[in-house]
């Protein structure tokens, strides 16, 4: 039996740091072993990130949405914690909802 957590939300940042934030997010694809995930699993969950190629207004947005097995959420939590520690002006909001049990 597996329990899934729906993770969804966004980050918003200034255009001049947008590519740095994307590079930071993508570095987790090579650090998969410390989260006890396979390379295939981390690449699968990283596909939940959506990077907008266009700036509309004065901020850039980075979105995430995926249903993640509950015991695999540590990598995502660590990503967000590390992003919050960056010296950039980044805002955002994320939701983690337990909504599905699959037998």
Per-residue pLDDT tens for 50-87?
Answer: 998 888 888 999 999 999 988 888 888 888 888 888 88
Quick check: helix, strand or coil at residue 47?
A: coil
Q: What is the pLDDT of residue 103?
A: 45
Q: What is the pLDDT of residue 100?
A: 57
Instruction: Give the domain range for residue 49.
Output: 2-102
- Residues of the chain with pLDDT > 70, as a percent, come to 93
pLDDT greater than 70 at residue 27: yes
In this prediction the pTM is 0.84
Find the CATH number of the domain harbouring 86. 3.30.70
Number of domains in the chain: 1
Q: Return the closest-CA partner of residue 82 out of 24, 19, 13.
A: 24
């Amino acid at each position: 039996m597996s329990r899934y957590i729906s993770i969804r939300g966004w980050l918003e940042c200034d255009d001049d740091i947008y590519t740095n934030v994307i590079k930071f997010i993508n570095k987790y694809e090579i650090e998969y072993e410390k989260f006890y995930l396979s390379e295939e699993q981390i690449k699968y969950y990283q596909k939940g990130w959506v990077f907008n190629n266009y700036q509309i207004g004065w901020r850039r947005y980075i979105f995430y949405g995926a249903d993640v097995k509950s015991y695999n959420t540590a990598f995502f939590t660590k990503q967000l914690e590390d992003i919050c520690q960056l010296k950039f002006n980044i805002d955002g909001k994320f939701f983690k909802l337990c909504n599905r049990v699959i037998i």
